Amino acid sequence: MTDFNSVPHRELGIEFGELASQIEEQSYPITNDELVEEHGEHVIEFSNGTESIRDILGSVANETYESPNEARQALFNMVSSRAIGRRYYSDRTPPALGEKREDQQLSF
What is residue 78's predicted lDDT score, i.e. its pLDDT? 84
Distance of CA 98 to the CA centre of its chain: 31
Entry pTM: 0.64
Question: What mean pLDDT is predicted for residues 60-83?
Answer: 84
pLDDT at position 81, please?
A: 53
**In-domain check, residue 90:** no
Domain that holds residue 40: 16-84
Tell whether 96 is covered by a domain: no
Which range (8-12, 16-20, 58-62) has the least confidence? 8-12
75 occurs within a structural domain: yes
Mean residue pLDDT of the chain comes to: 77
Residue 5 lies in a domain: no
Q: What is the pLDDT, as a whole number, of residue 3? A: 44
- Confirm whether 23 is domain-assigned: yes
First to last CA, the chain: 60
Structurally, how many domains does the chain consist of?
A: 1
For residue 52, being part of any structural domain is answered with: yes
> Quick one: pLDDT at residue 50?
84
The answer to whether position 95 is within a domain reads: no
